[in-house]
Amino acid sequence: MASALQMTPQLEQIHGEIRDNFRALSNGFQRLDKIKDSNRQSKQLEELTGKMRECKRLIKDFDREIKDEESKNPPEVNKQLNDEKQSMIKELNSFVALRKTYMNSLGNKRVELFDEGGVSEPTADDNVRMASSMTNQELIDAGKKTMDETDQAIQRTQKVVEQTIEVGTQTAAQLKGQTDQMGRIVNELDTINFSIKKASQLVKEIGRQVATDKCIMLFLFLIVCGVIAIIVVKIVNPNNKSIRDIPGLAPPVPARRLLYLRTTEHFK
């Protein structure tokens, strides 16, 4: 296929090295089936892994050279070169899958194929293969789609932020209203407490006044009772000289009659 492709000397050299490594990988895996010792199998797998790393590096160099020569080559030549690159990537991936199978059979669950070049995850290879198989327009459309999805995600994030700010503002307003209401309640409680204290003092004063009035009334009642008692004694026993007449009260009836008789005899 190399002879059918129009390639520069640099591309031909890289392409030849890749094909040599592929042949070495094919022969190496065939020999690996005949090895029974697990240690020798592990060592053989390490050597094959090195070959696959080298193929990975060479394919990247091949792709870089294609891009450098893309403007100089006709579109059909660029397409043929890209198809060849895709074919080599698929072939390399088949060796990678074969190596994983052997590694799993040896009990090693950790696979690190490409430590060099900064690309070691299968998803990166998948992205390279997908991008290589797409035309420029498809790449542009995919890029626009990705940008639109990113813009939509940003818009959704902005809406969430705006809603969060709005909820925070409403919550702050509600808290401020509740704080003001609590302040008014505290003020009213202080006023009620002051009114209760004032009413308590007023009740005490009224109680003292009532107690004083009761004492005065009791004193007056005792005086009235004493006067009534004296009057009763005078009426019952008018000749009792030990009890003086109360000023302002008339003497008993017998005394008035005796005085009247004496006066009448004097004028006769």
- Residue 144 to residues 21, 75, 138, 150: CA-CA distances in angstroms? 38, 24, 10, 10
Q: Which residue has the higher pLDDT, 85 or 106?
A: 85
Give the pLDDT confidence score for residue 116 in this predicted structure. Answer: 42
Give the pLDDT confidence score for residue 247 in this predicted structure. Answer: 55
pLDDT in tens, 85-104: 999 999 999 999 988 888 88
Sequence-separated (6 or more) residues with CB below 8 Å from residue 261: none
Judged by DSSP in three states, 248 sits in coil
Give the pLDDT confidence score for residue 130 in this predicted structure. Answer: 55
pTM, rounded to two decimals: 0.40
Judged by DSSP in three states, 182 sits in helix
Q: Which residue has the higher pLDDT, 39 or 248?
A: 39
pLDDT in tens, 181-237: 888 888 888 788 777 877 778 778 887 777 787 788 888 888 888 878 877 776 776
What is the rounded distance in angstroms from the CA atom of residue 154 to the CA atom of residue 158? 6
**Residue 54 CA to its chain's centroid (Å):** 51
Give the pLDDT confidence score for residue 13 in this predicted structure. Answer: 92
Give the pLDDT confidence score for residue 132 in this predicted structure. Answer: 55
What is the rounded distance in angstroms from the CA atom of residue 107 to the CA atom of residue 110? 9
pLDDT in tens, 107-155: 643 444 444 443 444 444 555 555 555 566 666 777 777 777 777 888 8
Q: Considering the chain, what is the average pLDDT of its residues? A: 76
Q: Inform me whether the pLDDT recorded for 180 exceeds 80.
A: yes
The residue behind tokens 């294609």 is 66
Range with the poorest average pLDDT among 20-29, 162-171, 249-258: 249-258
Angle at 116 between CA 113 and CA 122, to 5 degrees: 45
**Identity at 96, one-letter amino acid code:** V
One-character DSSP codes across 84-101? HHHHHHHHHHHHHHHHHH
| Nearest Cα residue to 143 out of 127, 122, 121, 162 | 127
| Nearest Cα residue to 41 out of 100, 104, 102 | 102
- Neighbour count for residue 94 (Cβ, 10 Å): 13
Give the pLDDT confidence score for residue 108 in this predicted structure. Answer: 47
Stated length of the chain = 268
Give the pLDDT confidence score for residue 71 in this predicted structure. Answer: 86
Q: Could you tell me if 173 and 181 are in contact, meaning their C-beta atoms sit under 8 angstroms apart? A: no
